[in-house]
């Protein structure tokens, strides 16, 4: 009622500009009804209704269209209903001063900055550390199974291919039954595996990663005379003292160097690691230092850089550089970087240019360079950073420190 009284007290010029007015509700016309009887008929009586409609009221003035007002430049004022200092409601044509003040002092940027600051201050929650009992329960119940041939190779029984041959020959039993399928999933911690009547240990040896400075005259194949793996006999003899209760690893070389080539070669028992860094998709570069008989001309350098065809594939070196002459050497030295990894690739490139190699040494694989203080026939255990330099992206491995 108070609002209605306030609206009624305002002049019409405050509500609408110029000829704008409110349209009242249209009322229905009045209807009158009268009852009369006819005297001409004495036997029956009749009722008649005389309905008279009130004259229609004239139509009010047409309501102006707001869009039309906008086209003519007229403005429609919408009143604000506010409460005055006396506590009564009233209408005014402008917004309240308090609302305008709040809109002027509103600062949305500050809230956005605070949200950004809160987001930046969020510290990542570290993964929870599980107890030994929880890890043991997980390993016993949820550990993923591995292929039988892979388990035999990791246990040091034989190479992957030789392990498959042992399985095909029926010399491997799993839980008392002969198994002839190398892809059979097994878990050495739960399954009982026998090879040639000998029980396979439940605990597999840890992953080992070694770098060897290969001397001349040694081959990379296992089981051959003067194999590079024979250089690790002392390392394996002291294995039981350094790792009690853990079976010895079966080592093999990652890739090969020919018998006359010296330098860096990686030795491990991790098949996945060997496959990763030796596969052509890894695109690891390999750097060699070639000592050449006689002098090297510019034309011969260009011939080496143009590449040659090896096993039906045109191989081109990444770079060829003539190193400065050393005072104590009369022969020239070339630094050749390749990534194909073809058999005798560097020797074929030099041979195609009409040169003869006196000695060849590999000094780098990927980002790992052979230490200068590592003598011929010596090896070192690779650390996590060395493995990363070789392009091995995996979880952190536990490798012993030192050489």
How does pLDDT run across 143-152, given as a tens digit for each residue?
A: 667 888 888 8
For residues 335-347, average pLDDT: 88
Work out the average pLDDT over 91-95.
78
Per-residue confidence (pLDDT) for residue 189, from 0 to 100: 80
What average pLDDT score do residues 296-320 get? 91
Rg (CA), the chain: 48
Indicate the pLDDT class of residue 242, thresholds 50, 70 and 90: confident
Active site residues: 258
Can you tell me the distance from the alpha carbon of 166 to that of 37, in angstroms, rounded to the nearest whole number?
128
Write the CB contacts of 54 (distance below 8 Å, at least 6 apart in sequence): 29, 30
For the cut 80, the answer to whether the pLDDT of residue 108 exceeds it is: no
pLDDT at position 121 is: 64
pLDDT band for position 397 (cuts 50, 70, 90): very low
Q: Is the pLDDT score of 290 beyond 60? A: yes
| Rounded mean pLDDT, 284-308 | 92
Query: Which pLDDT band holds residue 291 (cuts at 50, 70, 90)?
Result: very high
- Higher-confidence residue of 125 and 159: namely 159
Average pLDDT over residues 259-266: 94
Q: Note the pLDDT of residue 68.
A: 56
Work out the percent of the chain whose per-residue pLDDT is above 90: 29
Q: Is the pLDDT of residue 87 over 80?
A: no
pLDDT of residue 19: 43
Could you tell me which of 128, 140, 392, 376 has the C-alpha nearest to residue 265? Answer: 376
Instruction: Give pLDDT, residue 41.
Output: 45
Phi, psi of 60 (to 5 degrees): -70, 170
Q: Could you tell me the domains of the chain?
A: 1-12+76-95 (no CATH), 144-199 (3.10.290.10), 206-283+373-403 (3.30.70.580), 285-365 (3.30.70.1560)
Task: Write down the mean pLDDT value for the chain.
Answer: 77
pLDDT for 161-214, tens place per residue? 888 999 999 999 999 999 999 889 988 888 899 998 888 888 888 889 999 999
Give the model's confidence band at 57: pLDDT under 50 very low, under 70 low, under 90 confident, else very high: low
Percent of the chain with pLDDT over 70: 70
Lowest mean pLDDT among 111-115, 154-158, 272-276: 111-115
- Rounded mean pLDDT of 377-390? 91
What integer pLDDT is reported at residue 328 of this predicted model? 82
Return the pLDDT at 112: 57
């Amino acid at each position: 009622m108070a609002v209605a009284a306030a609206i009624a007290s305002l002049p019409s010029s405050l509500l609408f500009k110029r000829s704008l007015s409110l349209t009242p509700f249209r009322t229905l016309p009045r209807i009158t009804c009268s009852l009369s009887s006819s005297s001409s008929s004495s036997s029956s009586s009749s009722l008649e209704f005389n309905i008279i409609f009130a004259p229609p009221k004239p139509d009010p003035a047409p309501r102006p269209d707001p869009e039309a007002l906008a086209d003519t430049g007229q403005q429609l004022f919408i009143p604000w209903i506010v409460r005055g200092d006396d506590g009564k409601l009233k209408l005014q044509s402008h917004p309240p001063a308090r609302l305008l003040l709040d809109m002027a002092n509103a600062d949305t940027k500050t809230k956005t900055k605070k949200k950004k600051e809160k987001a930046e201050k969020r510290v990542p929650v570290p993964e929870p550390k599980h107890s030994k009992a929880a890890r043991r329960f997980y390993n016993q119940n949820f550990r993923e199974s591995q292929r039988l041939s892979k388990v035999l190779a990791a246990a040091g029984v034989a190479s992957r291919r030789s392990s498959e041959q042992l399985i095909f020959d029926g010399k491997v039993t799993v839980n008392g039954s002969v198994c002839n399928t190398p892809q059979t999933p097994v878990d050495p911690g739960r399954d009982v595996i026998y090879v040639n009547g000998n029980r396979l240990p439940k605990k597999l040896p840890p992953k080992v990663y070694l770098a060897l400075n290969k001397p001349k005259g040694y081959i990379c194949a296992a089981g051959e005379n003067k194999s590079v793996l024979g250089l690790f006999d002392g390392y394996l003899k002291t294995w039981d003292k350094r790792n009690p209760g853990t079976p010895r690893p079966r080592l093999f070389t990652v890739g090969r160097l020919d018998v006359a080539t010296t330098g860096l070669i990686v030795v491990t028992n991790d098949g996945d690691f060997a496959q990763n860094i030796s596969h052509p998709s890894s695109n690891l570069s390999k750097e060699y230092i070639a000592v050449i008989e006689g002098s090297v001309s510019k034309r011969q350098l260009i011939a080496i850089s143009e590449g040659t065809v090896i096993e039906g594939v045109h191989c081109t070196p990444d770079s060829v550089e003539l190193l400065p002459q050393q005072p104590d050497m009369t022969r020239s030295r070339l630094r050749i970087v390749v990534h194909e990894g073809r058999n005798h690739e560097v020797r074929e490139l030099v041979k195609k240019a009409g040169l003869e190699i006196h000695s060849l040494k590999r000094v780098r694989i990927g980002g790992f360079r052979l230490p200068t203080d590592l003598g011929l026939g010596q090896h070192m255990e690779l650390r996590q950073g060395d493995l990363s330099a070789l392009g091995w992206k995996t979880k952190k491995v536990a490798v012993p420190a030192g050489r």
